Structure 1
């Protein structure tokens, strides 16, 4: 047998399995994403449709089907009227904010790149339904690419993104998908840059280069929605501390001194600033009033019922409904608490860096986001899409993920019904207000929890390995295949061998009673071989242990004349890569000793190993004091190779093992002698 060829073929098959499993993950997650997007699209599509008014607004908007499980309301469709999107006005540069706080002249309340995407979504459309459909077409690729990136960085954990309710509820609710893509893409760039190159084994990009590219992407995200800009700070600190390889310097006195990369950290910040200016300045120059109007709108926005924050549902009742006092408190407390949350998140992340030696920039980013979402005076339901990638990439406790997602569904299914009840003046339903409160408070508590714990959360594989410029562990199915490839049966199979009235077959758990009978009443069998089972229960344990040893193949030895099990023997320490194995774990009933049974069993085991399986070396181990066993092994033609001190545990202590071996070069001569001996014993019966 040509073993190197077989090994190469095996490696090729495992490589194909690895690539195949990766393809399965990608295809499965993309199919789930497409299913979620389709469901989301159909649910939101129900808001619009003929007849339309003079502005192209669907007359039935935003009610749709009042009995639908998922409320059809969509901000995409809502924004068609009131921001001059329906008039195809290029955003910001012709606009301003009216005295009553309404935006006019193409200004939308989002950063400039979101406004630009909305303008693109309206091109050629004349109704809110057409605007929604074209916007959904623009948003879809961002969802699909985000899925691909998350699948690459987390494998099956991507299903937390692709197969949970938020993507159905919010994919086409607002313009969240592009901004979520930027945060995920920035992490992916850092991972790809740090991952080992196929030819060199070194990281593909320097830490500075990776971080600068990631910073540019985060700045683009900042110009879509604000929050990715928060991540530039932990990214800069990650570069400052030299990433996963935070090298230390030794000063003149021999003391360890942290080696900080101040220039690299500065470049990360500068790259973000320059990118932001490139995105913002053209709009500022072309129409400063319109650009500023979006900021003023956000500054004037109140923490009302439609913001579903703890400010409205917690602080407002404490102030007895005094609206002016409430707005004043929120206006001051919200920004101060956001700043405080940044300080807390960075402090906790830095403390973790002092412990681990690596600044946890992804965990710190999650903590910053949690603090921003918790204390900002506006918290929209679709913000769940912001935290979802962190559930995928970090080892967030399952309970926290489950509670967050379940209460998010409850919040979404009640908040829009609450708006409808308030607008209609109908009596409030207890379960609607209760569902909103449950969602708001559960999210607030969990966001506070994420703020203080995210820096300690470990990154999932394979992202964790990629960041360390290591080869990531193989995915689950491939790992199982690797384990099977090293198992004894993978090379040797499970043969049934017969010769000279002796049969060897794989040992089964149902042989426990028969195996126990072999040693029953014969305690001397355990003199040299420990743990020889003398009862059915211990025999069952002995067989189970043999089966659990993947490098062992245990046989029952059967005397064909009686059909009874008269002993057992095993291949063990099976190593296909080196074409070696050992024969042992052998003992026989006293009635079988000195007969043809053991020589015939050894002839079959050796012939199968050398001739059929292509083994190059067979080893025996026996107690150094077992002269009978040593003589029997030497009689097979094996060569004594020496004594191994403290080689095996034995009888509460250690034994010195005598090792013998035979190679394939010796087998032809040994086989002829052993076969002649077996034939003589058969003839003498």
Structure 2
């Protein structure tokens, strides 16, 4: 039988760890904030979670520096280096490493009469530096001064039976982001020709400008997540060093969407549903996945009877999305619809479970071989149906669990369900899960294991694209890593569900009925619960990776 945290004794001769942060009583800063919500800037030392006490990964990492934080160490007194700022610094360093990882794909060489981009000898795959940003500069006609997204069209495969008209293929905010960066690039090139700025190929300048803004977006993601975590500000530092960031921060434009989603969760946690909705609407106009966060909000608002806040957030999202999209829908309907057309016609991507099953079993898929340009209707239907079924199961958990699930837990489950059932899981999509995973399941060793597996999928993917004839890897290696990644995500989902039903094991809570990111429904009584059972009450210990395992006392106490 696992002892309760308050029954666990310290090792002989060691000082006992202080009370759990949730035992600080009603007189703490929790009630001192004007909004009634504690902030990371106003935490008392005993309100902060010390990673070197609660995380064996952090505890082992501190040994070369003298070991875990002492019981009487002064915490939260430095005038500048707060945990969040340390996290931002680490994020900046990780982004620099990530940029250097992609820099091999923006090298130039002299052809004799001009500079050219050095993609010879399959460099993007050999160096594993591939980024969509580079080829999209010319593929989307962004290098042409007359191009305007969703208005400008071109013909792919001209003169062939597969010839078809193309437009900008990204959602509006992402498409306009690319266009603005292309215009900045054109201005840079002009000034460089005048001798005011260093010169380079336009595509190299374009990539660097895009990377700058994408890096800022990831810093916003880290900042917002650290603020949302409240008494776990060091989780932001863990996000900053994610292996997925090292590999995929500049693979595509997804950090723009993670910034919007993280900002929306922060706004909701500060009881600002309209602002949360505005940021979600902006995120939906950037990438589709922030739309799914409205589902967990609906479940928890329904459970607490706070539907007004959900309607406010939804209205904010709809108005913002329309403000971004409506003018393009009216002016260039065909160009605007390109994103939806391409996604409808797209088959099962190499990273999807459907492709894994087809390759390993010889199955031809739900639709069988299709002529070019025809949509895989059965695949689309099955993918959508599976996602709806999983969302229904998540809604049941959200309304049936004795203690109300946290918003981050349900959000992680919904986005994971989408990725697992979707016919496309581009490698950079895993960035969507990073901030949600840290908020939903703040167990560093487990998350690091998943992030490492997920990041390593990139290596066999690149080697598979290189081709066996070019000393690459066979497809089975890549598909095997895809299976491992999916199993890792499924395992995290199982653990999140387990902690929903066993809230005393949830590290993000200081009480079993607490939700640090709950916003308007934090501490609200349940109005609608399937089964009508009363929630349990109590506090949560600052436990280690194994529930009930004693936390070693700090070195030197």
TM-score (norm 2): 0.67
1:65-99 alpha-carbon deviations (Å, 9 max, x no partner): 8764xx11111112112111111412112337768
Q: CA deviation at 1:114?
A: 0.4
Change (3 A) 1:452 1:109: farther
Question: Which residue in 2 is equivalent to 1:134?
Answer: 209
Equivalent position to 1:219, from 281, 286, 300: 281
Quote the Cα distance in structure 2 between the aligned partners of 1:339 and 1:101: 32
Question: Which residue in 2 is equivalent to 1:44?
Answer: 102
Change (3 A) 1:410 1:464: same
Change (3 A) 1:426 1:62: closer
Question: Which residue in 2 is equivalent to 1:460?
Answer: 508
Equivalent position to 1:429, from 460, 473, 477: 473
1:201-244 alpha-carbon deviations (Å, 9 max, x no partner): xxxxxxxxx223212211211111111111112213322333xx
1:321-346 alpha-carbon deviations (Å, 9 max, x no partner): 58960669964244434343334334
Larger RCO of the pair (alpha carbons < 8 Å, separation 6+)? 2
Is residue 2:315 matched to residue 1:315? no
1:458-511 alpha-carbon deviations (Å, 9 max, x no partner): 4726894464769xx9xx9xxxxxxxxxxxxxxxxxxxxxxxxxxxxxxxxxxx
Equivalent position to 1:80, from 123, 126, 137: 137
Question: Which residue in 1 is equivalent to 2:431?
Answer: 385
1:176-217 alpha-carbon deviations (Å, 9 max, x no partner): 111011111111112222xxxxxxxxxxxxxxxx22321221
How many residues align structurally? Answer: 421
SS at match of 1:179: helix
Question: Which residue in 1 is equivalent to 2:220?
Answer: 145
Any unmatched runs of 5+ in structure 2? 1-41, 47-73, 187-201, 501-505, 524-538, 543-556
Question: Which residue in 2 is equivalent to 1:514?
Answer: none
Quote the Cα distance in structure 2 between the aligned partners of 1:239 and 1:352: 10
Is residue 2:301 matched to residue 1:239? yes
Any unmatched runs of 5+ in structure 1? 1-10, 194-209, 243-259, 477-549, 551-685
Equivalent position to 1:116, from 164, 176, 183: 176
Q: Is 2:354–2:423's contact at 8 Å kept on the other side of the alignment? A: yes
Map residues 364-443 of structure 1 onto 2, 5 A cutoff. 364-395=410-441, 400-421=446-467, 425-426=469-470, 428-429=472-473, 433-443=475-485
Q: Is 1:215–1:269's contact at 8 Å kept on the other side of the alignment? A: yes
Quote the Cα distance in structure 2 between the aligned partners of 1:24 and 1:12: 11
SS at match of 2:137: coil
Map residues 284-683 of structure 1 onto 2, 5 A cutoff. 284-305=329-350, 308-320=351-363, 325=368, 331-356=377-402, 358=404, 360-395=406-441, 400-421=446-467, 425-426=469-470, 428-429=472-473, 433-450=475-492, 454-455=496-497, 456-457=499-500, 458=506, 460=508, 464-465=515-516, 467=518
Question: Which residue in 1 is equivalent to 2:241?
Answer: 163
Higher Cα radius of gyration:
1
SS at match of 1:447: helix
Change (3 A) 1:84 1:293: same
SS at match of 1:325: coil
Please say which of residues 131-140 and 270-279 is displaced more in the overlay.
Answer: 270-279
Structure (1 or 2) with the greater strand fraction: 1
Map residues 175-186 of structure 1 onto 2, 5 A cutoff. 175-186=253-264
Q: CA deviation at 1:277?
A: 1.5
Is residue 2:316 matched to residue 1:271? yes
Quote the Cα distance in structure 2 between the aligned partners of 1:12 and 1:428: 52
Q: Is 1:303–1:378's contact at 8 Å kept on the other side of the alignment? A: yes
Q: Is 2:407–2:517's contact at 8 Å kept on the other side of the alignment? A: no
Q: Is 1:57–1:128's contact at 8 Å kept on the other side of the alignment? A: no
TM-score (norm 1): 0.55
